Structure 1
Amino acid sequence: MSVILVFLLVMAGFAAWWLSHQRMTAKPWLEQGPLGGFEGSDRSTLPTAKIGLGVFLAVIGALFALFASAYFMRMELSDWRPLPMPGLLWLNTGVLVLSSVALQFSLIAARSDEWHLVRLGLTAGGIAAVIFLIGQLLAWRQLVADGYVLAGNPANSFFYLITGLHGLHILGGLVALGRTIAGAWGSYGPQKLRLSVDLCAMYWHFLLIVWLAVFVLLAGWPADFINMFRQSLI
């Protein structure tokens, strides 16, 4: 239960940060000037696409929180034998961070109408995401070669399930990112492109946070902390 609460707090923090950038707390009736003419009025109404994506991310967060809870409950049983963390996951994590940074760079460039930088950031982010997925597959291959197959142990099954589920969400994001990249080369107008880049960056930052939580979970650090806490109370 504590794991779920911590995960939900992290997701709530992300949501608060996001909403703070959408003028959701603005009071237009206190603004100076004629109705509808105040500065930033074009951002006062949250686009439907952002609301939909926010709801979708909330569902994803709840799903991963449930898997984290099941992971902790299952590891308490005697047949649980944790598998070693492939060192490649550290490199993959760094690549995903770079992908998220590239998307944020593209978003900043879109707000400044620097479209050549937008294309550069989107392309770099997409390439880094593809490298991340390839790295995840190589990590799987390494574990299988070392004898840690899917059905060998419950810990193995959870590892492949959780990392695979995250990889599928990255793959789905790449489809949307590919459409945005294609639109950045001429088929999207400035307003539509800004929104599309904003949505991609939001999705990518969320998946990075989820992956960091998954990485910490699979590394066993929360379990070590809980064991240390329990021993300190004895």
Structure 2
Amino acid sequence: MTIGLIFLSLLVAVIVGWLMRQTLVEPWRAEVVVPEVRVGLAAMPTAKVALWVFLGVASSLFVLFVSAYVMRLGLADWSPIPRPRLLLLNTVFLMGASLAMEWTVYSARRADAGNVRRGLAASGLLTFAFLAGQLYVWKQYHDAGLLLSSSAATAFFYLFTAVHGLHVLGGLVAWARASLRVWRGADAARMRLACELCATYWHYLLAVWLLLYVLLVSEDLGLAICSAAPL
């Protein structure tokens, strides 16, 4: 398990580096013509291929973490921790950010620059609200004396939320580049690929978070890191 995690972490780092060159620099610029690769009968931009490869590797990493969690959950000394009330609100924030990204793509396809700007701004604000909420949950646990080393449940809570949070921060780098180009007056229609890449990534972040949320709070399924007792 440890060797697998190390290998996947290194692989993620390599792919992220390549992704930064292929997708976070060039395709987020309005003026760039994005190269295409052939996938079956359809042509797909290299940026999209790179993003999907990265998401596949990231998913494998999350699967390994979840597998380790399920194995640890079966031991007799497992003790759930109190559930932060703010987790549900944070989930709503991320859902709103994902919907705003989808609206941004719709606006870009219609070459509606005003709504592209508003969509990117709304998704960014909601994403920052999600991160702020997650940090506040960490503060609540810290104030309650529930630290990383307190128990296996707290360790997995911090692990899951930290890894997901790092992925969110990575997405905000791409969001910032796209937003900067739009606010500088880039043509909305030519920003379509950048908006589509952002939207795909935000939908992925939401899907992963919903899975993690189930692991965190679904006590009835016997999987919960957090108990029904509120923090």
* TM-score normalised to structure 1 length: 0.75
Task: List structure 1 runs of 4+ shifted beyond 6 angstroms.
Answer: none
Q: How does 1:99-110 map to 2 (within 5 A)?
A: 99-110=97-108
Paired residues of 1:216 and 1:222 also in contact (CA < 8 A): no
| Match of residue 139 from structure 1 | 137
| 2:31 alignment partner in structure 1 | none
Matched, 1:96 2:81: no
CA distance in 2, matches of 1:187, 1:105: 19
Q: Which residue of 2 aligns with 1:76?
A: 74
Question: Quick one: distance in 1 between partners of 2:64 and 2:120?
Answer: 32
Q: For the residues of structure 2 that align with 1:200 and 1:210, how far apart are their CA atoms?
A: 15
**Alignment pair present for 1:218 and 2:226:** no
- Give the percent of matched residue pairs that are identical in Structure 1 and Structure 2: 44
Q: Deviations over 1:162-196 (max 9, x none)?
A: 10110011011111101100011236444541110
Q: 1:194 aligns with which of 167, 192, 213?
A: 192
Greater strand content: 2
Give TM-score scaled by structure 2 length. 0.76
Amino acid at match of 2:68: A
Deviates more, 1:138-147 or 1:217-226: 217-226
Q: Does 1:123 align with 2:121?
A: yes
- After superposition, what is the alpha-carbon deviation per residue over 1:63-83, rounded to whole angstroms, capped at 9, x for unaligned? 111111111100111222111
Larger Rg: 1
Q: How far does residue 220 in structure 1 lie from its aligned partner after superposition?
A: 3.5
Stretches of structure 1 that go unaligned for 5 or more consecutive residues are: 1-23, 28-43, 227-234
What letter is aligned with 2:78? W
- The correspondence of residues 57-72 of structure 1 with structure 2, limited to 5 A, is 57-72=55-70
Quick one: which of 180, 183, 194 aligns to 1:182? 180
Distance 1:115 1:50 in 2: 22
Task: Give the root-mean-square deviation of aligned CA atoms.
Answer: 2.0
Match of 2:16 in 1: none
Which stretch shows the higher mean deviation, 166-175 or 217-226?
Answer: 217-226
Distance (whole Å) between structure 1 residues aligned to residue 66 and residue 220 of structure 2: 11
CA shift digits 1:82-117 (9 cap, x unpaired): 112201000000000000010000000000111100
Amino acid in the other structure paired with 1:182: L
Shift of 1:144: 1.5
**1: CA distance, partners of 2:214 / 2:201:** 20
User: Could you tell me how far 1:157 is from its partner in structure 2?
Assistant: 0.5
Rate the CA distance shift 1:114–1:200 in 2: closer, same or farther, 3 A.
same
Give structure 2 stretches of 5+ with no counterpart.
Answer: 1-37, 225-231
Q: Is the 8 A contact 1:100 1:208 kept in 2?
A: yes
Residue of structure 2 in register with 1:159 after alignment: 157
| Greater percentage in helix | 1
- 8 A contact 1:180–1:197 mirrored in 2: yes
